[in-house]
A and B are shown apart, each in its own frame.
Chain A
Amino acid sequence: MTKIKILSEEWVEAFGKAINANPNYKPSALTWEGDMLLLIEPSGKLDHEVRIFIGLYHGECTGTRLLKEGEEVDTPYILSGPYDNFVRVMNKEFDPIQGVMSGKLKLSGDMAKLMRHVQAAKEIVNSLLTFETEFL
């Protein structure tokens, strides 16, 4: 399997497709309504901020997009943190909820709703592991 370079347009597109192809994601997110912005801060080998829009609605990924510099989006959820910590999530050193609880990641949005969808958050990460990523 060809590795896809992390944070490239191709990788962001593959991410969205992988969420929809993951049979365990949909049932865990049937009641989820709320797009997400991933705000990846420079750290380690990443020297600039990267923002990724992920459309999520009732168990479907409605689209993913690498945001251009200066492009504004209004999403009810924003997950932010240093690049290295996102990589650690992908390596399953900790899950996204643990990341937020331990301060490695930050999340804004309706937290009560999020707590009803812990499994969905986990399956989004599992989706990322269904294709090979070339890290920076």
Chain B
Amino acid sequence: MWYFYSPNIIYGEDALNFLENIPGDKCFIVTDKVMEELGYLKILTDKLEKYGKQYNVYNEILPNPRETHVAEAREMCNSYTPDLILALGGGSVMDAAKMVWCFYEFPELSLDDIHPFRPDLHNMGKKAKLVAIPTTSGTGAETTYAAIISKFENDIWKKFLYAHKGIVPTYAIVDPIFPVGMPSNLTADTGFDALAHAIEGMGSEWRNEFSDALGVKAIELVFKYLPIAIKEGKNMEARDYMHQAATMAGLAFGNGNVHIGHGMGHSLGAIFHIPHGRAVGVVLSYVTQFCLNNPDEKDKSIEIYAKLAKQLGWANWDEDNKKAAFTVIEKIKELQKEVGIPNKIQDLGISREDFDKNLDMLITLCYEDATIGMVPRSVNPEIFKNLFTYAYDGKNIDF
């Protein structure tokens, strides 16, 4: 037995109009200041007013949401008693909103009470439904049952994963009206987040037929439409397909998980404050190569990525599997170059001195990340040290 969890997904131009059909008149909006400044909050509230729905707004969520923000929003939500919670923003907002929803439904819980094994959280949605409205095309958080929240421990804000199938949003409204305004660097960062979800997801130990199917399609769409979305930001077709790709990749990794690329990316983000998509994008080719170099003959990474390369026309069907699989690495590098994602950590503006000084902490943080357990090869600190160092220098993984 395994699971495939998904929200009800409404996508494409004018998807936001579906709000009219969702029962509930009292809405609590979780968002951030940027959404307000960009006018996105107004787009949403105009719709709500048109449909006769009341609303209250919490707009203090910051990137890498902290437990303190969740606590503030929780208090406000619980006193407002909404019947709809709307998350408008990127992954940080949607993750925070999942926790706010959870604490609204179960006020007696705290963050550390949320884990995948408790049965009561399957009973979410008694007081309110959660509607996730992503404004970037990458995070996939509108589809997943996990939230990353930072807690202050040992003098550093550490990112922790809180997960339960019950916190999958009730609805995901995937309307390209929002990402169409993204600047090109954010488009590239978030696009590579989606790509990392799909590519790592296909190699994860928890991969399954459902996640694979969505992962392949997401990869195809990212390779086709990310360069267009960057060159022609207002191209609605490219924006729409990239938005769909991110949601598909979210479903892929939400149900099959990601692995050490995300562990390493979270570490880079926590220490050097690198945007998440760029951090996982930089290390993607290295962790994929690490998987392809697995000496275990039973490992399926070569077979999986060879099939991907053949399905996408990057290799002929009669091509040797190993050779075909390695075209995936080359394709990642080509796309990085085309859309401006660095291929080595040093190009993120991190000096050698800073990198060396923080290398041990980067590794320590990887071990606190639940995703690393999904990689098909055993890892240890020496391997992480080499992965980070090779990725810093831009060397091919030869171990």
Contacts and interface: CB of A to CB of B under 8 A. Distances in A.
Interface of A: 23-24, 27-28, 30, 95, 97-98, 100-104, 107, 111-112, 114-116, 118-119, 121-123, 126
A27 B381 contact: yes
B378 interface: yes
A73 B176 CA distance: 58
Contacts, number: 53
Given A111-B118, A119-B367, A102 B372 contact: no
Interface of B: 1-3, 112-118, 160-161, 163, 205-206, 367-368, 370, 372-374, 378-381
B367 A28 contact: yes
Nearest to B372: A119
Contacts of A123: 378
Please classify the interface of chain B as helix (H, G, I), strand (E, B), loop, or mixed, using the class held by over half of its residues.
loop
Contacts of B2: 98, 102
B380 A23 contact: yes
A1 to B, nearest CB: 18
Contact of B378 (A24, A95, A107): A24
Contacts of B378: 24, 123, 126
Contacts of B112: 112
A15 B175 CA distance: 54
Given A111-B115, A119-B372, A119-B373, 11 more contacts: A27-B367, A30-B367, A102-B3, A103-B1, A111-B117, A112-B112, A112-B115, A116-B368, A118-B372, A118-B374, A126-B378
B117 A95 contact: no
Contacts of B373: 95, 97, 118-119, 121-122
**Which 6 interchain pairs have the tightest Cβ spacing?**
A118-B373, A111-B115, A112-B112, A119-B373, A24-B380, A24-B378
